[in-house]
Structure 1
Amino acid sequence: MRTNIVLDEKLVSRAMKLAGVKTKREAVHVALHAFVRTRARLDIRKVYGIGGLDPAYDYKKMRAG
């Protein structure tokens, strides 16, 4: 999809260097992929919780049967 947007030139230059890309188009593409990947991960955490162990979990009791 072709579109015109106004971008902060310094921010774009920095993003291009960090991403190791040569064009603004590539920089925007990389940034959008990173954004979507991060947001998708956050959505999964909402569904399944942050993770870790329940402080009340007693592995010794579980092993004893």
Structure 2
Amino acid sequence: MATNLAIDVNLLDEALHISGLKTKKETVNQALKEFIQRRKQREIIALFGKLPQDNDYDYKQGRK
């Protein structure tokens, strides 16, 4: 899907340099993936302390 976007050239150039990726397309796609990943992590973090605890769970059993 071809899309025309007005992207800040300075930001894109800096992201391209920092990422070490070869193309602007790769850089934008990577940035979008990281953005989505961070937002999903925030949703998970917001759940800490809000879910019921499983008192029968044995974390040591998973180490074997």
Give the structure-1-normalised TM-score. Answer: 0.68
Task: Extract structure 1 runs of 4+ deviating beyond 4 A.
Answer: none
Q: Identify the structure with the greater helix proportion.
A: 1
Unmatched 5+ stretches in structure 2: 50-64
Please report the RMSD computed on the Cα atoms of aligned residues, expressed in angstroms: 1.1
Give the structure-2-normalised TM-score. Answer: 0.69
Once the two structures are superposed, residues 6-65 of structure 1 have per-residue CA deviations (whole angstroms, 9 ceiling, x without a partner) of 11111100000111112111110010011011000000011224xxxxxxxxxxxxxxxx
Q: In terms of Rg, which structure is larger?
A: 1
Taking the TM superposition and a 5 Å limit, the aligned residue runs for 1:1-65 are 1-49=1-49
Q: How many residues align?
A: 49
Q: Percent identity?
A: 37
